[in-house]
Chains A and B, each alone.
Chain A
Amino acid sequence: MVHQYINNGYHIVLDVNSGSVHVVDEMVYELIAFLKEEKQNDSKIDEETITKAVSHFQGTYAESDVREALEELNGLIEAGQLFTEDVYEPYVKEFKKRETVVKALCLHIAHDCNLACKYCFAEEGEYHGRRALMSFEVGKKALDFLIANSGSRRNLEVDFFGGEPLMNFEVVKQLVAYGREQEKIHNKNFRFTLTTNGVLLNDDILEFLNKEMANVVLSIDGREEVNNKMRPFRNGKGSYELIVPKFQKVAESRKQTNYYVRGTFTRNNLDFSEDVLHLADLGFEQISVEPVVAAETEDYALREEDIPVICEQYDKLAKEMVKRSKEGKCFNFFHFMIDLQGGPCVAKRISGCGSGTEYLAVTPWGDFYPCHQFVGEEKFLLGNVDTGIVNTDIVETFKGCNVYAKDKCKNCFSKFYCSGGCAANSYNFHGSINDVYEVGCELQRKRVECAIMIKAALAEEEA
């Protein structure tokens, strides 16, 4: 499969199955579009097709130029970088049969929150349930379960999530201490992360986070009025003023790495590129601002008709990032990050996010769910820290989830970048984890295009 697009003046050709990216001139761009209609397989361009191409472009491009370009294209075909075939479906079937291990837990350390964010999928921290804090005992059993079920996997990830994790900070500290003790005994390496709204952050907590957390996610939506509209305290007052200086301190103290300021954009701020740039102007260099996922009945939910506006915003942001990068004022935007050289192997790219198999969420009272977004959906209850996983049917369903299990992914150029999308979004919109959330897909495709354009622009700069 070959995908081609023009973005910010760059003519980009993506050979989906090999992962190759080519920046081409206008003539080659048109030639590839022509060849996509003519070619059926990954063999070289034959003389008959060359003759057809020459005649097709007669009057537009000189024959010698067309022949020269086709020769270059044949070089790419020979190198397995163009018109390659998809050979991964049998591979994923075998790969998915392997015995999986649990490698990551999302610990819902506090089902309670000191903010009342309007779009919260945790419903102000309560997840369709009761307010509760995780005890050390439950957390300890969860870590023991992770170690016992992680096989030979060395790096184990534990995310302290909520609600607001700092509302149960003492238990976070105790669990980290316990994890550090256990990792030595079992030859494991815990990578702890924490997501916070910042309200309770202070110097002591910061010192602890900087010592123990591989990553911290700091929730803020962007401009003051945007943030305060959706992220107020329970009394209605906005949170921006309180959290911004604290987050700036976190970013600086972590030397601008291993953190994200993380916002959500909604229908209320479709001009969200302004929020991203606002965060950059506040001095943050690791930024993530992501589309809200909400039921269509919510007034702030993104609608299909918003897609063109959102795509324009991504384009605008991508261009601005190229500009700032050239001026030495670069920042990372999480959804435009793409690792072309050191990115994941194809097994990872096709096998889904690992929810329900490698990744589990744990409620404050010790129940296991396939991921944080399924918490509270009783039919997805997998077991608990005492019984282990008992609902193995659900685990098997999640184990079968991959790019090739989803019809809508088969012809999508982005499938090896999103791994088939989010199972929870698919379930929430279609009642099945093997479907896709179409609005999310449209935006994902746009982001991949922008991310690759940025790489092309920066490569040109380096050349």
Chain B
Amino acid sequence: MKHIKTLTTRDLKQSMKKGGCGECQTSCQSACKTSCTVGNQSCESQK
């Protein structure tokens, strides 16, 4: 495309189909302990 560059992202709607396995890291176990950040986490089943 000439005017738009789309970054590669995970399709959230599609992720409903196979999502929710729960194997991913708990939000607060990384570094934060004072906020809630999930966007930075990785999906265990996509690894």
Q: A68 at interface (Cβ–Cβ under 8 A)?
A: yes
Contacts of B25 in A (CB 8 A): 104, 157, 191
Q: For the complex, what is the distance from the CA of A226 to the CA of B25, rounded to whole Å? A: 31
Given A72-B4, A345-B19, A346-B15, check contact A371 B28 (CB 8 Å). yes
B6/A22 in contact, CB under 8 A: yes
- Interface residues of B, dominant DSSP: loop
- Interface residues of A, dominant DSSP: mixed
A20/B6 in contact, CB under 8 A: yes
Contacts of A339 in B (CB 8 A): 39-43
Contacts of B38 in A (CB 8 A): 343-344, 348-349, 353, 416-419
Question: Closest residue to A420 on the B side, CB-wise?
Answer: B36
Q: A363 at interface (Cβ–Cβ under 8 A)?
A: no
A348/B7 in contact, CB under 8 A: no
The 8 Å CB contact of A372, one of B1, B5, B28, B40, is: B28
Contacts of B29 in A (CB 8 A): 104, 106, 157, 159, 193, 215, 359
B31/A262 in contact, CB under 8 A: yes
> In the complex, how many residues of chain A place their beta carbon closer than 8 angstroms to a beta carbon of chain B?
91
B9/A19 in contact, CB under 8 A: yes
Question: Closest residue to B47 on the A side, CB-wise?
Answer: A342
Q: A456 at interface (Cβ–Cβ under 8 A)?
A: yes
A352/B36 in contact, CB under 8 A: yes
Q: A5 at interface (Cβ–Cβ under 8 A)?
A: no
Q: For the complex, what is the distance from the CA of A422 to the CA of B34, rounded to whole Å? A: 7
> Which residues, 252 to 299 on A, are CB-close (under 8 Å) to B?
260, 262, 264, 288, 290-293
Q: A421 at interface (Cβ–Cβ under 8 A)?
A: yes
The 8 Å CB contact of B23, one of A95, A154, A195, is: A154
> Which residues, 99 to 132 on A, are CB-close (under 8 Å) to B?
101, 103-104, 106, 121
Q: For the complex, what is the distance from the CA of A371 to the CA of B38, rounded to whole Å? A: 16
Q: A28 at interface (Cβ–Cβ under 8 A)?
A: yes
Q: For the complex, what is the distance from the CA of A349 to the CA of B39, rounded to whole Å? A: 7
A153/B22 in contact, CB under 8 A: yes
Interface string of B13-27 (1 = CB under 8 A from A): 101101110111111
Which of A104, A353, A359, A463 gathers most chain B CB within 10 Å?
A: A353
B30/A334 in contact, CB under 8 A: yes
The 8 Å CB contact of B34, one of A88, A193, A293, A344, is: A293
The 8 Å CB contact of A348, one of B2, B9, B19, B32, is: B19
A344/B36 in contact, CB under 8 A: no
B43/A342 in contact, CB under 8 A: yes
Q: How far is the CB of A240 from chain B (nearest CB, A)?
A: 20
Question: Closest residue to A437 on the B side, CB-wise?
Answer: B35
Which of B22, B23, B25, B41 gathers most chain A CB within 10 Å?
A: B22
Q: For the complex, what is the distance from the CA of A161 to the CA of B41, rounded to whole Å? A: 21
Which of A17, A215, A343, A354 gathers most chain B CB within 10 Å?
A: A343
Q: For the complex, what is the distance from the CA of A339 to the CA of B40, rounded to whole Å? A: 5
A18/B33 in contact, CB under 8 A: no
Contacts of A347 in B (CB 8 A): 15-16, 19-20
Contacts of B8 in A (CB 8 A): 340-341
B1/A75 in contact, CB under 8 A: yes
A-B contact pairs, 28 of them (CB 8 A): A17-B12, A18-B9, A19-B10, A21-B9, A22-B6, A24-B3, A72-B1, A72-B2, A80-B13, A87-B13, A103-B22, A103-B26, A106-B29, A121-B34, A154-B23, A161-B33, A215-B31, A217-B31, A290-B34, A293-B35, A339-B40, A340-B9, A340-B10, A343-B40, A353-B38, A359-B28, A418-B37, A459-B7
Chain A interface residues (CB < 8 Å from chain B) = 17-25, 27-28, 68-69, 72-73, 75-76, 80-81, 84, 87-88, 91, 95, 98, 101, 103-104, 106, 121, 153-155, 157, 159, 161, 191, 193, 195, 215, 217, 260, 262, 264, 288, 290-293, 334-335, 337-349, 352-355, 358-359, 371-373, 416-423, 425, 440, 444, 448, 451, 455-456, 459-460, 463
> 4 tightest CB-CB pairs across the interface, nearest first?
A345-B19, A417-B39, A347-B20, A345-B15
4 extra A-B contacts, CB within 8 A, seeds A340-B7, A456-B5: A24-B5, A155-B23, A337-B40, A344-B38
